[in-house]
Structure 1
Amino acid sequence: MLQRLRPPRAATGALLPSSTRVLARSLATTTTPTSPAPKSRNDTNPPVGIYLHFPYCTHRCTYCAFNVYAHPPAGAPPPLVEAYVKELTHALTEEVPGRRWDVRSVYFGGGTPSLAPQEFFERTLASIHQHANAVAADAEITVEANPSDITLDKLHAWRAHGVNRLSIGVQALDDATLRLFERDHTAQQALRAVELAKKVFPDRISLDFIWGRPGQSVRAWKNELRRILGVADGHLSLYQLTLERGTRLVRALNTDDDLPAMPSDDELADMYEATVQITAAHDFHQYEVSSFARTRANEAVHNSGYWRGHEYIGVGPGAHGCIARRGPGTRDKTYRIMSPSAWAATCHASGHGMLKRAKMTRRAVAEERVVMGLRMVRDGLVVDEEVAEVLDGEAVEKMVRDGFLEWTERGVRCTRRGLAVVDAVVPRVLRAEKEEEEVRERVLQ
């Protein structure tokens, strides 16, 4: 797909203002940054998301490179659940002294959290309500679920604990692919699970699928996508397959001559274009590179917080977080101990399983806003003073002329063509670090 990052034939080459003046204009018209920060911690509490990582699976899929482990025979024992409660309590009451958290979303991810005992959901959600400053009345509370784990009893129990959204990892409606991925369900079993879930969580279900798979043709993906849209609820996450080094799938592709080949770059580009066109024809709008919703109310609140640069607390083995620990406008990354047993032991001894904290520089915060903001279809990237310092204005202008970016009232966003190659667009528009000071002076004149 990266080979398609070249100017369209119809590019006009129209003259645009200088990069300095364009960025200055954006600063003058921008009133709300991508990640709004209060002037004082006492003025308001910006929204925060909480991510809880449940690291266990019955089996590791062949494409998976996440921090997951074989599920213990007896399920998650009470000491493990207690460790989550301890770490949540510490994160919400002690991690940032004096800070009170307003929770906008909670996301149970993994791993396979649908394997967790009901006590896990009951106690962690109770802890959040107990220790947060407030939990929004319409807070999005999501559980990732494997189709083979979904039963009517589980669905009703999750609902009773306060869960109001499911993200079901179907991944494919092709049994040969499901076998290649070593998923523990067939396409028909997944479809039955989706229909069952709709009875308890109507209009609150997201389905995950992977395209660009070994042996998949453009035509096959189009047909499969139409089947997907026939059963979809309110949200779809449609991801291009990422080949992660060290996974069994990558090893198999490198050594097994009987496996079908991966699609070509041109085929992948055509699959992406088909994804955008076919979802739109079925009244799903694209609001992020891989995310599609039936209405704006169906857009994922928790994931949108990541893309908009909001703070999030990570809890559980290997969980990451990003919080304003040193005051408004700052960001610190947090990393939890990866091993479940070591993490739980540290939680019981110290109240948390923190591995390390990393202070983000001003530049790193701004660059992350660029990376995430350009993934957003409607909002795009707000260009304020911090972002202007890391953008190469001339490169941005060229991307606009070449049809990959377009100006908005508050900044810039990817065009449909740019979204298809956003990972190649981002490094081209970031300014070399040594130029920062000079730009800071110029852009504010």
Structure 2
Amino acid sequence: MSEKQKLELYIHIPFCASKCRYCDFLSGESTPEAQRAYINQLIEEIRAQGQILPEYQLSSIFIGGGTPSILSGLQIQNIISAVYENFVVEADAEISIECNPGTLDATKLEYYREAGINRLSLGLQSADDEELKLLGRIHSYNDFLHSYELARAAHFDNINIDLMSGIPHQTLHKWRQSLKKVLRLHPEHISAYSLIIEPGTPFAALYGSEEGQKALPGEDEEREMYAETKTLLEEYGFTRYEISNYARPGKECRHNIGYWTGVDYLGVGLGASSKLKHHRFHSEERLDRYMAVEMHRDLMPLYQDLVALTVADEMEEFMYLGLRMTKGVSGADFYDLFHLNMFDLFGDAIRKNTALGLLEVDTPMLRLTERGIDLSNRVFADFYEVLPRNQALFPDDPRNLF
């Protein structure tokens, strides 16, 4: 019997109590009836996907949103049960769920434990109540503390906390205070992201103009925040293993590492993205159309923007996603995958960014320097669309989706 291939599963729950002012995710408010109908359809999709992907086993499951914790514990348990009934799940699979403070209680957490969830991701964003109101969050810092204490009481020992820098009117001092408050709680993982003003959001209307941007921390202050994050977290025993993610030893997010290192992933639910069998696609983004798909008959109406990836696409993705990891990318791994020399193919980009002090070579590894991390988007651009698109130039690689 051939060994099953590794697959990561993302499950999208598009519901939230209230839309945050910076958020452009596919999510929104809904009724309990709409949520129940969606869950039934989601479970049908999970069943159908499991039937057509028997060659895979799941190494991780990530339930995101929206706010998955807005659902009842039983509803989450039913979703995970459907996964186990239709997929082979590794015995030590990482199973994560995103939770918003103010939507958790002891009963939900008990259901999570019974379902096999072993990692929580709490969306705090800021430990400053004024900043939370500005962001449009539904909770206070004390609400977050209550949720965190409930999670510890329920014996969750792998908790991530999301924090956001670059918030309007935020100062380095305020950011430092948020970090210190969170560090005193001794979580296992911290994701520290910078705010991005996304088009079409309320924040874009408020802060997208030249005048509005004056309320945002300047570039120098953002870099100071970034440096302060690394310094403080290292003092508390965290290691930065990816540009925006810090963990205690052994508590790195395995699901996200799989994404950055090219593991196939399947997204189920409204608008969920997938990279599977050398193809990239996402699910239907309109709720009425998603609900109308007859999952048991034909999944093809579900798939949008289906693109076959060339070998060149995957080589470039190997570089600009893998370089997000602080350990860098391995020339030996590249050769094992593509049977070509990474340093020859991307020699111009590597030499240019090494000369600028943005990359460093420690054969067979190539990684960003500290300055390169600050200017990572500039580095990644040099690895994007630099190879010929002619797939015939590369080793044979038959590509069939289903």
How far the C-alpha of 1:143 sits from its partner, in A, is 0.8
The equivalences for 1:183-262 within 5 A come to 183-254=137-208, 261-262=215-216
Q: Match of 1:66?
A: 25
What is the distance in 1 between the residues matched to 2:385 and 2:343? Answer: 8
Q: Secondary structure at the match of 1:403?
A: coil
Look up the equivalent residue of 2:11 and give its one-letter code: L
Following superposition, the deviation at residue 344 of structure 1 comes to 1.9
Aligned residue among 302, 321, 333 for 1:354:
302
Checking the alignment, whether the CA contact within 8 Å between 2:9 and 2:60 is kept in structure 1 is yes
Match for residue 68 of structure 2 among 113, 123, 147: 113
Structure 1 position 179 matched with structure 2 position 133: yes
Q: Which amino acid is 1:58 matched to?
A: A
Counterpart amino acid of residue 53 in structure 1: H
Are 1:404 and 2:358 an aligned pair?
A: yes
Distance 2:146 2:214 in 1: 29
Q: Tell me the equivalent position of 2:86.
A: 131
Aligned-pair CA distance for 1:314: 0.6
- 2:40 corresponds in structure 1 to 82
Q: 1:340 to 1:138 in 2, by over 3 A?
A: same
Shift of 1:348: 5.0
Secondary structure (helix, strand or coil) at the match of 1:148 reads: coil
- The count of aligned residue pairs is 388
Aligned equivalents of 1:195 and 1:61: distance in 2? 24
Q: TM-score, normalised by structure 1?
A: 0.81
Which amino acid is 1:306 matched to? Y
1:341: Cα distance to partner?
3.0
In structure 2, the partner of 1:335 is: 282
Mapped pair 1:301 → 2:254: yes
Counterpart contact for 1:322–1:334, Cα < 8 Å:
yes
Report which of the two structures shows the higher radius of gyration computed on alpha carbons: 1
Please tell me the residue identity of whatever aligns with 2:315: A
Corresponding position of 1:328: none
Paired with 1:63 and 1:233, the residues of 2 have a C-alpha distance of 25
- CA–CA distance in 2 between the matches of 1:390 and 1:337? 40
Which position in structure 1 is the counterpart of 2:291? 344
1:394 positional shift: 2.7
Match of 2:367 among 413, 426, 429: 413
**Contact 1:389/1:436 (8 A) holds in 2:** no
Is 1:142 equivalent to 2:96 in the alignment? yes
Question: SS at 1:103's partner residue?
Answer: strand
Residue aligned with 1:194, SS: helix
Q: How far apart are the structure 2 equivalents of 1:359 and 1:418?
A: 31
TM-score, with length taken from structure 2 = 0.89
Partner in structure 1 of residue 399 of structure 2: none
- Could you tell me which amino acid in structure 2 is paired with residue 228 of structure 1? V
Alpha-carbon separation, structure 2, partners of 1:135 and 1:418 = 38
Q: Residues 72 and 108 of structure 2 are in contact (CA less than 8 Å); yes or no, is this contact kept in structure 1?
A: no
Percentage of identical aligned residues: 28
Q: Is the 8 A contact 1:75 1:116 kept in 2?
A: no
Q: Which runs of 5+ in 2 are unaligned?
A: 396-402
**Structure 1 residues 350 and 437, CA gap change in structure 2 (3 angstroms):** closer
Q: Please state how far the C-alpha of 1:102 moved relative to its aligned partner.
A: 1.1
Distance 1:355 1:262 in 2: 38
5+ long unaligned stretches in structure 1: 1-41, 325-330
Find the counterpart in structure 1 of residue 49 from structure 2. Answer: 91
Which consecutive segments of 4 or more residues in structure 1 shift more than 4 A? 254-260, 434-441
- 2:57 corresponds to 1:102: yes
Distance 1:258 1:361 in 2: 41
C-alpha contact 1:147 1:189 (8 A) present in aligned 2: yes
Q: Distance in 2 between matches of 1:108 and 1:226?
A: 28
Deviation per CA, 1:291-340, whole angstroms, max 9, x where unpaired?
10011x2110111110111001110000011111xxxxxx1112111122
CA RMSD of aligned residues (A): 2.6
Instruction: Give 1:370 shift.
Output: 1.3
Contact 1:374 1:381 in 2 (8 A): no
How far 1:259 moved relative to its partner? 9.0
Q: How far apart are residue 254 of structure 1 and its match?
A: 4.5
The alignment partner of 2:35 has SS state of coil
SS at match of 1:155: helix
Counterpart residue number, 2:313 = 364
- Answer 1 or 2: higher relative contact order, Cα 8 Å, separation at least 6: 1
